[in-house]
Structure 1
Amino acid sequence: MTSLLVTSTDEGTGKTAVALALARLAADRGAAVGYMKPKGTRLQSNVGKTLDADPMLARELLDLDAEMHEMEPVVYSPTFVKGAIRGEEDTAALRERVREAFDGLAEGTDTMILEGAGDPDTGAAIDLTDADIAELLDARALLVARYEEPRDVDRILTAAENLGDRCLGVVFNAVSSAAYDEVETEVVPFLESRGVPVLGVVPWAREMAGVTVADLTNELGAESLTDAATDALIERVLVGAMSGESALSHFRRTKDAAVITGGDRADVQAAALDAPGVNCLVLTGGHRPSGAILGEAEQQGMPVVTVQTDTITTIERIESLIHGGRVRDAATVERMQELLHAHADVDAILD
């Protein structure tokens, strides 16, 4: 039985999509595949018995019948971490819980896919970083990374060093066309000269970027004020804090954007409705727009949602969501399978 930990250098690398795509690719080769995310970090709330969305999606896409408490033995919520800091958690017992859950899930499988946290150092408070988990569960580790600037190499080298001999190599994901040649001709040879194999350079694909209006609405807990379709992509956030005339000029220079503004800014709302690149209007502070604005939005098919949070908090949450590259459905994972098959050494990763 082979165990592969898919970890990452940072949040928003597309780690979940890569992990599930590799699981599906292994299954396509006839392997019995299991999945586990030892530390649940993508949580729905900060308190209580929360669930990580990634194992829930894995169970659905891989047709697994495992229980959530097995797939996610440690719920790494802020409340849990506070308890660990206060000495309320037994580190040895937690490691044993992870080990026992793994043994149960791995029984009868040929390949176990383990998913790490967004940050490989998450879990240090209980001695369960991604490197600790690779050691505990005798797994090889694949790093998933982005490349946007040369300093990204520092994070890759640090993560690889922490993983030691268990580091299988790195797959670059969502590499822009502007950076692709640099990665291939300069970054790859440099990393390999430092003992870090590069097992894939996956190009940026538009259909893998951004989130849908529906994703945004669900994650924000927003109230929809129109019946417009919610499948349009949101790739950037614009803040409507200027005059209506200035806002219109600004909005018209963008595409696939969500405009965030107050419910009392009818001029900005009207400008957003007139801009073809705006796909959603988000009103903060729990305010509702005028009937005229809502009527125009309905006519144009523009989603309008309202949230209780303030503008700054809303911006941060949406940007985090967009940057996170959330895995939404089977189609996203299937597209990642295609990308990995074309641009990564899947044989070296899975064999």
Structure 2
Amino acid sequence: MKSLLVTANAESTGKTAITLALASIAQERDGSIGYMKPKGTRLQSNVGKTLDEDPMLAKELLGLDAEMHELEPVVYSPTFIQQVVRGREDADEVRKRISEAFDSLAADQDQMFLEGGGLSTGNIIDIADGDIAELVDAEVLLVCSYNRINDVDEVLAAVDDIGRDRLRGVVFNRVPDGVYEELEDDVVPFLEKRGVPVVGIVPREKHLAGVTVQELADELGADVLTDVAMDGFVERFSVGAMGADAALRGFRRTKDAAVITGGDRADIQSAALEAPGVKCLILTGGHRPSGAVLGKAAEKGVPIMVVQANTITTVERAEDVVRVGRTRDEQTVETMVELLRNHADVDALL
């Protein structure tokens, strides 16, 4: 029985989608597979319990019969961390819990897929991803982003953290077109000369790189004020807290962005509506914009939504929606399956 732990050197690299896609491919090949996420980090409240959304999605998509306490033996919540710091969690007991859950899930399976929770997450009680790989004797797939040449340092640091003896390979995911050639021609040969196998370069896929305006509005509980299309994709945010002229210059340099600003800042709102890369406006503080701004938004086809929270809280919540919202459903995983088949050495990964 083989085990593969999928980890990443940063957040929002597509780790969940890749883990579930590989498990799906292995399952399609008539292999019996198991899945677990030893540390539940993407938490939500569910029927009175705090659980990780990723194992719940895996349970549904892969048809798993396992119980949630096995799929997610450690709920890595702020409460758990506090208990660790106060000396109320025993490291050996926690590791035993993970090991026993793994053994139960792995029984009679051809391959186990483990979704990591972070290279550093869990260090306080010796359950970082490298520790877990050693605990269950798993090889490791490292998922990395690549946007500039400096990122090579981060990749090598992550490889050293994992240990080269356990490294199955590196997959670069969501690679922008502008750096794809540099990565393929220069960086990959450099890494392979350093003994780091690169098993995939997956290009950026727009539909996996953000959330729609409608999804963002739903997650924020926003009141949508315009009757225009809500299918635009948002990948980033721009906070309108400066003068109108400076704001317009900044907005024009961004793309696929939501502008978050106070509902009383008509000057910022008007400037945002002049920028082609702005996909929607999120107005904070419960303030509705003027009729002139609403009319201009309708003319430009730019959605405007209002939330009751302040700007700082809204920015934090919106960024969290985009960060964790990419692996949402079966279609997302199916898209990743095709991307891996076309841009990665799936045989090497499995």
Under a length normalisation based on structure 1, what TM-score does the superposition of the two structures give? Answer: 0.88
Q: Deviations over 1:221-264 (max 9, x none)?
A: 44444565543210222233345576566545654221111111
Asked if structure 2 preserves the Cα contact closer than 8 Å seen for 1:14 and 1:324, the reply is no
Letter in 2 for 1:257: A
Distance between the aligned counterparts of 1:194 and 1:156, measured in 2?
Answer: 12
Change (3 A) 1:317 1:19: same
Q: Is residue 256 of structure 2 the alignment partner of residue 256 of structure 1?
A: yes
Superposed displacement of residue 318, structure 1: 3.0
Counterpart check, 1:110 vs 2:104: no
Question: How many angstroms does 1:324 deviate by?
Answer: 5.5
Instruction: Give a deviation string over 1:5-56, Cα, whole Å, max 9, x none.
Output: 00111112111111111111111211122211110111237xx842212112
SS of alignment partner, residue 289 of structure 2: coil
* Sequence identity (%): 62
**Deviation of 1:207 (Å):** 2.3
CA displacement at 1:291 relative to structure 2: 5.8
Contact kept? 2:286, 2:309, Cα under 8 Å: yes
Cα deviation code 1:121-166 (max 9, x no counterpart)? 1101111010111111111110000122333222222222232211
Cα offset, 1:76, TM superposition: 0.7
- How far residue 316 of structure 1 moved from its aligned partner, in angstroms, is 4.0
> Which residues in structure 2 correspond to 1:312-351 (within 5 Å)?
312-322=312-322, 326-350=326-350
Shift of the 228–70 alpha-carbon distance from structure 1 to 2, 3 Å rule, reads farther
* 1:120-199 matches, cutoff 5 A: 120-164=119-163, 165-199=165-199
Letter in 2 for 1:137: V
Structure 1 residue 297, shift from structure 2 partner: 5.1
> Residue 237 of structure 1 contacts residue 260 of structure 1 at CA under 8 Å; is this kept in 2?
yes
Aligned pairs for 1:203-282 within 5 A: 203-226=203-226, 228-242=228-242, 247=247, 251=251, 254-273=254-273, 275-282=275-282
The alignment status of 1:50 with 2:59, answered yes or no, reads: no
- What does the per-residue CA deviation read over 1:59-86, in whole Å, with 9 as the maximum and x for residues that have no partner? 2222223222221111111221111011
Q: Contact between 1:14 and 1:325, CA under 8 Å: does it hold in 2?
A: no
Q: CA deviation at 1:273?
A: 4.5
Alpha-carbon distance in 2 for matches of 1:214, 1:29: 36
Q: Is the 8 A contact 1:244 1:268 kept in 2?
A: yes
Aligned length: 347
* Partners of 1:227 and 1:340 in 2: CA distance: 38
Q: Quick one: distance in 2 between partners of 1:51 and 1:223?
A: 28
Q: What letter is aligned with 1:340?
A: L
Matches within 5 A, 1:76-91: 76-91=76-91
Whole-Å Cα distance in 1 between the matches of residues 324 and 180 of structure 2?
Answer: 21
Asked whether the 8 Å contact 2:171–2:202 carries over to 1, the reply is: yes
Corresponding letter in the other structure for 1:347: D
Q: Which runs of 5+ in 2 are unaligned?
A: none
8 Å Cα contact 2:37/2:116 also seen in 1? yes
- Is contact 2:42-2:324 (8 Å) kept? no
Distance 1:345 1:86 in 2: 45
AA in 1 matched with 2:140: A
Decide whether aligned partners of structure 1 residues 158 and 271 sit closer, same or farther in structure 2, where only a CA change above 3 A counts: closer
Q: 2-side partners of 1:223 and 1:135: how far apart?
A: 49
Distance 2:278 2:147 in 1: 26
Deviates more, 1:294-303 or 1:309-318: 294-303
- Report SS of the residue matched to 1:143: strand
Question: Is 1:255–1:278's contact at 8 Å kept on the other side of the alignment?
Answer: yes
Q: 1:181 to 1:245 in 2, by over 3 A?
A: closer
* Distance (Å, rounded) in 2 between the aligned partners of 1:170 and 1:132: 19
Aligned-residue CA RMSD (Å): 2.6
CA distance in 1, matches of 2:294, 2:51: 36
How far 1:332 moved relative to its partner? 1.8
In structure 2, relative to structure 1, the CA distance for the partners of 1:9 and 1:249 (3 Å cut) is: closer
Aligned to 1:13: 13
Alignment partner, residue 66 of structure 1: 66
Contact kept in structure 2, 1:175 and 1:203, CA below 8 Å? yes
Higher alpha-carbon deviation: 247-256 or 53-62: 247-256
Please say if residues 16 and 54 of structure 1, whose CA atoms lie closer than 8 Å, have aligned partners that are also in contact: yes
Q: What is the one-letter code of the residue matched to 1:159?
A: A
Relative to structure 1, the CA distance from residue 221 to residue 72 in structure 2 (aligned partners, 3 Å threshold; closer, same or farther) is farther
